[in-house]
Amino acid sequence: MLGKAKLLKVYLGESERYKNKPLYQYLVLWLKEKGVGGVTVSRGIEGYGQDKVLHTARLLELSSDLPIILEIVDLAEKIDPLIPQICSIVPKGLVFSLDIQVHKYGSKQE
């Protein structure tokens, strides 16, 4: 997976669930099963999306639905066919992609 590849970013809410699981955990396992190269999940502290409702980690709002960000990396040939399925699993989220140049993946080197 060196050279031209793709980064797919998915933004969703921490409280969203799918098949009795947090949606982001479901997605990570689903991507792993599909053999996608690498996935990293981060939690934001504040944000809003299409519904313009602000989610925040400020004091006294501990139960709020914080943003979750997935960064998914693989060749375009691997990622592109999965995008429609990812979009249907993430009904309320934001999904976008961009081209990247991979210099190292695991034990191989440019």
Residues that bind a second copy (CB under 8 A): 5, 7, 9, 11, 24-25, 28-29, 32, 37-52, 54, 67, 69, 71, 73, 83-84, 86-88, 90-107, 109-110
Write down the least CB distance from residue 97 to a second copy, Å: 5
Looking at the Cβ atoms of 60 and 98, the one nearer to a second copy is 98
- Please, which residues have CB within 8 angstroms of residue 106's CB and are 6 or more apart in sequence? none
Instruction: Look up tokens 């440019």; give the residue.
Output: 110
Write down the least CB distance from residue 32 to a second copy, Å: 6
Query: Within 13 Å, how many C-alpha atoms sit on residue 29's CB side?
Result: 8
Are the C-beta atoms of residues 12 and 22 closer than 8 Å to each other? no
Write down the least CB distance from residue 69 to a second copy, Å: 6
